[in-house]
Amino acid sequence: MIPITVTNHLADQPASGTVRLSLIDFEAETEVYSDTQGVTVPASGSQVVALWLDTTNVSEGDYLLTAVVESDGGQEEAFAEYLRVKLLAQIVGTVTLQGRPTSPHPAWITILQLSLYEPGSTTPRYAYQATTDQSGRFDASNIPPGNYDVRIKGSHTLANIKRNITLQPGLNTIDFGTLLEGDANDDNAVTILDYSILRTAYGTVRGQPGYDERADFNQDGAITILDYSLLRMNYGCAGE
Ligand SMILES: [Ca+2]
Ligand SMILES: [Ca+2]
């Protein structure tokens, strides 16, 4: 998002009128991008206009942004702003999930919470939600590049952290390892509280009263001995 201040100095504007921001040229030495956008600016005074430009294929660097404001009467006035483009980072992550059939399989689709911390800090700086595909792969984008502790947690798994990871502008591939199942109540430990949720829902299938997806650790639509086995395997463990 690029804010640009547009001041209406056009002499032919009626006191209650508006102007159009009709042309935006976004240029560097070798690249030019154009967009057209209608905008309402008070007949006297100024307004900050938020310009959304697609910078997907734009190189990092300084650009000159020019806007031409055109009135209904055909008068024009030009504005210019310098714009610094900083590229953002994207994480393409993979997790291994316990108790699933061989991937790709729909049971691998799960929602993950991705949190980025300043290294050593316990307060997340950025938080994202991501959904894995049928192979446990996910992505998160629009992340400011930098050094982070990167934490990943499933809604019924323990969390894993990759510490002091440098996220470069562009693509960053990270393997987060195996997420341990069994955390039905999502408190990052596998305890008696999780067993209690599992026991209450035991024997049910999706759609039946009492089915509780928090205890369906292998996500096969039924609360069975397979889920109990996963909980027992990780009982007493706590996540990072
Ligand atoms: Ca728990
Ligand atoms: Ca299950």
Assigned fold of 89-179:
Immunoglobulin-like (2.60.40)
**Distance between CA atoms of residues 223 and 200, nearest Å:** 10
Question: Given the structure tokens 């446990």, which residue do they identify?
Answer: 136
Instruction: Find the helix or strand (DSSP H, E) in which 233 lies.
Output: helix 225-234
Q: What is the pLDDT of residue 87?
A: 75
The reply to whether 2-85 and 89-179 are identical in fold is: yes
Task: Say which ligand is closest to the CA of 197.
Answer: 1
What distance in angstroms lies between residue 209's CA and the mean position of ligand 2's atoms? 15
| Residues 219/138, Cβ–Cβ less than 8 Å | no
Question: Given the structure tokens 């159009």, which residue do they identify?
Answer: 20
What distance in angstroms lies between residue 57's CA and the mean position of ligand 1's atoms? 44
Q: Say what the pTM is.
A: 0.70
What distance in angstroms lies between residue 196's CA and the mean position of ligand 1's atoms? 10
Task: Say which ligand is closest to the CA of 205.
Answer: 2
Nearest Cα neighbor of 121 from 166, 161, 179, 180 is 161
What distance in angstroms lies between residue 216's CA and the mean position of ligand 2's atoms? 4
Mean pLDDT over all residues of the chain?
82
**Distance between CA atoms of residues 64 and 84, nearest Å:** 9
DSSP state letter for 201: H
Domain 2-85: give its CATH code: 2.60.40
**Higher pLDDT pick, 129 / 56:** 129
Task: Say which ligand is closest to the CA of 230.
Answer: 2
Task: Say which ligand is closest to the CA of 227.
Answer: 2
What distance in angstroms lies between residue 147's CA and the mean position of ligand 2's atoms? 37
pLDDT at 41 exceeding the cut of 70: no
Ordered by start, the domain boundaries in the chain are: 2-85, 89-179, 192-234
pLDDT at 18 exceeding the cut of 60: no
Query: What per-residue string of b and e applies to 67-102 under the rule 16 or more CB within 10 Å gives b?
Result: bebebeeeeebebeeebeeeeebbbebebebbbbee
**Helix, strand or coil for residue 32?**
strand
**Paired strand residues for 81:** 65
Cα 11 to Cα 19, 72, 76: the distances in Å are 11, 12, 10
pLDDT in tens, 218-233: 999 999 999 999 999 9
**Distance between CA atoms of residues 196 and 173, nearest Å:** 37
Task: Say which ligand is closest to the CA of 229.
Answer: 2
Given the DSSP bridges, would you call strands 170-179 and 89-97 parallel, antiparallel or unpaired? parallel
Task: Say which ligand is closest to the CA of 196.
Answer: 1
**Distance between CA atoms of residues 240 and 233, nearest Å:** 17
pLDDT band at 213 (very low <50, low <70, confident <90, very high): very high
What distance in angstroms lies between residue 203's CA and the mean position of ligand 2's atoms? 10
Compute the half-sphere exposure of residue 139: CA atoms within 13 Å on the CB side of its CA.
9
Q: What is the pLDDT of residue 62?
A: 65
pLDDT at 187 exceeding the cut of 90: yes
Per cent of the chain over pLDDT 90 is 59
